[in-house]
Structure 1
């Protein structure tokens, strides 16, 4: 009997390790799909563009919280994405001292390409599940997330 590899969860490790491994594999697969499609961005940059596309313009600190980055890391990511023309910093309408981060037209086009890659990866990840199992997985993970958020 072969011992489990570092990328396999053992029954003793449980749910937390399994969720972590699934996340790691999803990130790896998405980054590979992005590279293969000619998008030279990493997962964190994908998350930044996703949050802006779905939630609209926001401050850098709001965006950092949304993607779980510290301020310095967020500034570096924003500088890179702004340099590539995918987002811009604009003055807040009500508070001239504040800046809002928003997607450019090029960023919106790129987001749509990246989202197709994301959908393909998620579809492949769930290929072994029938529609009922997919819904059950989504429901179960949603309840786990809510229970954890309720505790904090």
Structure 2
């Protein structure tokens, strides 16, 4: 078996290919793929605590903190202290952030359609199950 035939290399190749395509797409809007993911998580769970946001994104807190600072400067998100724990920050999309996210979702639909069309529903579910098993095994 060559290194090209290993699970880690194939996961890396698929992820980096998808990431490059999406990165080029979102660059037009001045947003990175990771920032889009952050905005998408907030669109589903607005007002979550910053640490929960990091967990949902599977990203480290420092990276998320840096992204939040940048997006805050662009008026895409806002943070406010939690009522329960003043040290914790709740994160929200601003009105302009919500508009931008909707635009990004519309403009990324082709990427999502291409990914969905690449696998039959059964193969898709098998892939998702396999990825979940890998995640659990490595945690």
- Shorter-chain TM-score: which interval? 0.7 to 0.9
Distance in 1, Cα, partners of 2:102 & 2:83: 27
Q: What 5-or-longer segments of structure 2 have no aligned partner?
A: none
> Is 1:136 aligned to residue 122 of structure 2?
yes
TM-score, normalised to structure 1, is: 0.77
**Poorly superposed stretches of 4+, deviation over 6 Å:** none
> Is 1:113 aligned to residue 99 of structure 2?
no
Q: Please provide the CA RMSD for this pair.
A: 2.2
Distance in 1, Cα, partners of 2:60 & 2:105: 25
Matches within 5 A, 1:1-152: 13-35=5-27, 38-127=28-117, 129=118, 133-151=119-137, 152=139
SS in 2 for 1:58: coil
Deviations 1:87-132 (A, max 9, x none): 00012233334220111111111111112233211223455x4xxx
Structure 1 residue 149: Cα displacement: 4.2
Structure 1 residue 15: Cα displacement: 3.3
Q: Which has the larger radius of gyration?
A: 1
SS in 1 for 2:108: helix
How many residue pairs are counted as aligned between the two chains? 137
TM-score, normalised to structure 2, is: 0.83
Q: What 5-or-longer segments of structure 1 have no aligned partner?
A: 1-9
